[in-house]
Amino acid sequence: MKKVSIMDLKQIKCKNRVADYGEVLTPDWLVHKMLCMIPDDATRINSRYLENSSGEGAFLLGVLSRKLDKIFNTYTDINDRKFYTVVGVSNIYGLELLADNVGISRKRMLDLVKEYFIHRYKLKTDIQFLKTIEHIINKNIINMDALTYKIPIFKNGKLICDENENIIYSDELGKISEWEIDYKTRHIQRVEYFYKDVVIEQKDKFELQNLLKEVEPTQLSLFEYNQEDDLFDEDNFVRVAKPIRKYEKIIYTSLYNAHVLKGED
């Protein structure tokens, strides 16, 4: 019997990438097993999924596949299937250090949507729908170091490092988009944030929840007020992420044509 190596399982592209970036790709069979262990609610159509070291997108594809299965099993009208596919895709995020992996992930996700519509269900897909899907994927699969919140610099497809082998980053912080969806009108508004600000807000909310669990609630007087009573008030405790750019609210089929309302384009 032939011995199966790690390279045969396509977990490693080359040994240098493992040594330099710790890159070991997760095989599809393991992705499937791991996703089967999470609650069904985690892969519902509008559930949000973010992976901060997404590689070639194995987990992103696994989540998207489950969303698409639900969409095609729930809806029969092609317009419903298109809209809820946009909803599903807009709630999948991947952050990845290596630019070639970002390109591979984006292509694989777009190809998976085409696979369902064109090959599995033999449905006609217009160019506007595919451009919308591609637009969202390009914004949601982000070339960024999730630990530093910065964008790495590449030259001729290679990551640039200094003389000490430290990664050199752009001065610009990485950005992430939220897609605000109106399910009645099927209009969507893109709101862009610095990813660092979103992480800080979520961290503050998590710490606030833990503090509230530890502090025993007390009976407050109806007429007395003490400023310390607001110590754990969310408005004072949580550093809310502020949008850096807002786009016009537009029908989902023309999302890629949305103009900036606030902030610089």
pLDDT for 169 equals: 97
Res. 194 pLDDT band, cuts 50 70 90: very high
pTM of this prediction? 0.83
> Can you tell me the mean pLDDT for 89-113?
96
pLDDT for 119 equals: 95
Name the phi and psi angles at 11, rounded to 5: -85, -20
DSSP state of 4: P
pLDDT in tens, 145-178: 999 999 999 998 889 999 998 999 999 999 999 9
* 82 C-beta neighbours (distance < 10 Å), count: 25
Res. 22 pLDDT band, cuts 50 70 90: very low
Res. 200 pLDDT band, cuts 50 70 90: very high
C-beta separation of 186 from 83 below 8 A: yes
pLDDT in tens, 218-262: 555 544 545 545 556 777 889 999 999 999 999 999 999 999 998
pLDDT for 265 equals: 64
The span from the CA of 103 to the CA of 111, in Å, is 12
pLDDT for 17 equals: 41
The span from the CA of 198 to the CA of 243, in Å, is 10
Range from 86-95, 123-132, 227-236, 243-252 carrying the lowest mean pLDDT: 227-236
The span from the CA of 181 to the CA of 168, in Å, is 37
pLDDT for 30 equals: 67
pLDDT for 28 equals: 72
